[in-house]
Amino acid sequence: MALNKRRHRRGRDEVVADLYHMLGEMEGVASPCCPQDAAVHALQCASLAVEEGAGAELVAAALVHGFGHHAGLRAAAPLAPPEVVGARWARERLGLEVAWLVMAQAPAKLYLLGPSGRAGREGETGWELSLEHLVAHPRWGDALRLCRWDEEAKAPRARTSSLPEVLGELAPLLASLPATGGDPAVLPGVA
């Protein structure tokens, strides 16, 4: 899918620099998902996506899926849930598809609980009422895959690609980004 170049605030080189910066910030920080380094968890998640032959947008979403938990980003939007913070970060750099996948991980996890698992959680996440529409999205299956990799990317000794290796997988996506930043996109629910 061609990306609208006007939908990015950051240019290609800035996006790569931002990814290095964020992964660097996450080194040594406990992941909110599991008892291991947040940067390792992100790279393991991306590695699993690569191993399954995921496209560049989905690999990118796997890599940045937890960025919304970054303390600095949360501080700038304290009322926004992590998936929205992360989607906003992704939208400005990697496009709407990646942003949607990052945002969809929260309702996808809720969906995977099944009706009985969701019982009593109505209103807790705010996504319950949106599930009916989200499951019809063409990338909903990828959101579920992202959730699975997130669960699997918690093994300390699992193969972990380096960021340069992951960036190699993102080459088609990075090549589609504008050389310089443009206007932000509008993604419903991600102001």
Rounded Cα–Cα distance for residues 39 and 26 (Å): 5
Q: Which is nearer to Fe ion, 3 or 26 (CB)?
A: 26
Sort residue 40 into left (φ over 0), alpha (ψ -120 to 50) or beta: alpha
The residue among 66 and 86 lying less far from Fe ion, judged by its C-beta, is 66
Range in contact with Fe ion (rule: CB under 5 A) among 14-22, 25-33, 100-108, 156-164? 25-33
* Nearest CB to Fe ion, comparing residues 86 and 181: 86
Q: Please tell me whether residue 83 binds Fe ion under the rule CB under 5 A.
A: no
Are 97 and 139 spatial neighbours (Cβ–Cβ below 8 Å)? yes
For the bound state, the minimum distance from the C-beta of residue 84 to Fe ion, rounded and expressed in Å, comes to: 16
Residue 33 as a binder of Fe ion (CB under 5 A): the answer is yes
Instruction: Pick between residue 33 and residue 158 the one whose CB is nearest to Fe ion.
Output: 33
CB of 66 to Fe ion, least distance (A): 4
Residue selected from 8, 22, 66, 68 as contacting Fe ion according to rule CB under 5 A? 66
Which residues are CB-contacts of 55 (< 8 A; sequence separation ≥ 6)?
Answer: 172
For residue 137, what are the contacts with CB-CB under 8 A and spacing of at least 6? 100, 104, 143
Please list, in sequence order, all residues whose beta carbon lies within 8 angstroms of the beta carbon of residue 180, skipping any fewer than 6 positions away.
Answer: 11
Residues between 126 and 155 with contacts to Fe ion, criterion CB under 5 A: 150
With CB under 5 A as the rule, give the number of residues binding Fe ion: 3
Q: Is residue 34 classed as helix, strand or coil in its secondary structure? A: coil
Of 30 and 186, nearer to Fe ion (C-beta) is 30
**Residue 21 to residue 30: CA distance in whole angstroms:** 17
Which residues of this protein are in contact with Fe ion, per CB under 5 A?
A: 33, 66, 150
